Amino acid sequence: MEYNPFLNFCKVLDEAAATAKIAPEDYEVLKHPERELKVALPIIRDNGKLEVFEGYRVQHSSLRGPCKGGIRFHQDVNVDEVKALAAWMTFKCAIVNIPYGGGKGGVKVDPHTLSESELEKLTRRYTAAILPLIGPQQDIPAPDVGTNAQSMDWLMDTYSMMRGYAVPGVATGKDIEVGGSLGRTEATGRGIMTVTRLVAEKHGIKKARVAVQGAGNVGSISAKLIAKNLGFDIVAISDVSGGIYNADGLDMNSVGAFLAKKGLLKDYSAQGVKHITNEELLMCECDILIPAALENQITAGIAEKLKASIIIEAANGPTSVEADAVLASRNIDVYPDILSNAGGVVVSYFEWAQNLQSLYWEEADVNRMLDKVMVRAFGDVEKTAEEYGVTLRLAAYITALKRLTRAAKLRGIFPR
């Protein structure tokens, strides 16, 4: 059976609702995205030929505020993935208790096959196609896999040209010069580091071996901050080409400098470094595993062979439902994505608030507020897990679901 991330989301949602004794009619709406838009995106390639790409924007829920979520450029993008990512955003925003709903966008394209000019054309065309759905009070995009600050700069500029005036609040994750926030680039990784710190405090861990699957923005920054601020050994890290492992800990300054030059880890060499596959990284000798790549990486088969005792999810949906059951049976704590990687959307919220007020914060203030929000959310999920005697993933879903169903009841159904 082909993996469907949205059905995966719905299964966990049903389990959380049953555990918290929430009636089906109180959350049924959350199984149905409010809007799903599919768009055709023709652009003229650099060789003069026309090519049409497929794009999506899904707004899952606006119960608690404007929809919020990234835009993914990846060759495997499909509507079920985008729906799941939008739904996870709804729950993520509810867990950290910020006034957003969930949205997500995607274009089916390998961005590495496009020139800078072609990427700009595609981003601007996509922005024009989804323009009726987005806006600072409607739906606020951000970067995701395959997109970056430059992508959001183009999106903001295209939207602003259509409106006739600058609208920096239409997107977050922008460059500082066009309304971005200090601290935004490191926000998701910093949030992962905060959760890792809180987990270590809870378990009395003074020293740990950490393996990170994924060396993109989230994975590389998580690894760097954990090594620098917590003093833990990063024993493994990987990218699309494979991974590297050193039982005594990798030199993250050296690895970081190598990655900054756009090198692939298959070409990295240093004393004591062993090359491994992405799958081998998931099962390597470590105490804490941080999956920071794509969804559905930890399957039931891999879950049975994991050596880590703690998993902190930096990617969206990296663990299958079947794997969750195996991990629970092995007493492996899983700190779920909708809690652990929420740092990005928290600082996106800060950026949006700064744009609306035309008042910008110092980076120290951004980081301090991010830490405050993540600590509070971590405590809320831990409290729910203890109250219901459930896994941390179910606790996170229950925490969010209670807030969402409460909002739905207060707002009511229109029309009656």
**Cβ atoms of 214 and 243 closer than 8 Å:** no
pTM score, two decimals? 0.93
The band of 145, judged by pLDDT with boundaries at 50, 70 and 90, is confident
Provide the edge-to-edge strand list for the sheet that holds 67-74: 35-44, 50-61, 101-108, 67-74, 139-143
Q: Is the pLDDT of residue 379 over 90?
A: yes
How does pLDDT run across 39-56, given as a tens digit for each residue? 999 999 999 999 999 999
Tell me which residues are annotated as active site. 104
Q: Is the pLDDT of residue 68 over 80?
A: yes
- Transcribe 285-308 into DSSP letters: S-SEEEE-S-SS-B-HHHHTT---
Mean pLDDT across the stretch 341-347? 96
The band of 8, judged by pLDDT with boundaries at 50, 70 and 90, is confident
**CATH number among 3.40.50.720, 3.30.70.980, 1.20.1090.10, 3.40.50.2000, domain 187-340:** 3.40.50.720
How does pLDDT run across 228-253, given as a tens digit for each residue? 999 999 999 999 999 999 999 999 99
Domain ranges of the chain: 35-178, 187-340
CATH 3.40.50.10860 fits 35-178, yes or no: yes
How does pLDDT run across 271-284, given as a tens digit for each residue? 999 999 999 999 99
How does pLDDT run across 289-336, given as a tens digit for each residue? 999 998 889 999 999 999 999 999 999 889 988 999 999 999 999 999
Mean pLDDT across the stretch 157-184? 97
- Transcribe 128-163 into DSSP letters: HHHGGG-BTTTEEEEE-TT--HHHHHHHHHHHHHHH
Q: Is the pLDDT of residue 184 over 60?
A: yes
Residues whose CB is less than 8 angstroms from the CB of residue 375 and which lie 6 or more positions away in sequence, other chains included? 194, 198
Comparing CA positions, the residue from 15, 99, 7, 25 lying closest to residue 61 is 99
Instruction: Tell me the pLDDT of the chain averaged across its residues.
Output: 95
Mean pLDDT across the stretch 150-174? 98
How does pLDDT run across 129-142, given as a tens digit for each residue? 999 999 999 999 99
Predicted confidence at residue 101, as pLDDT, reads 97
Predicted confidence at residue 321, as pLDDT, reads 87
Predicted confidence at residue 1, as pLDDT, reads 55
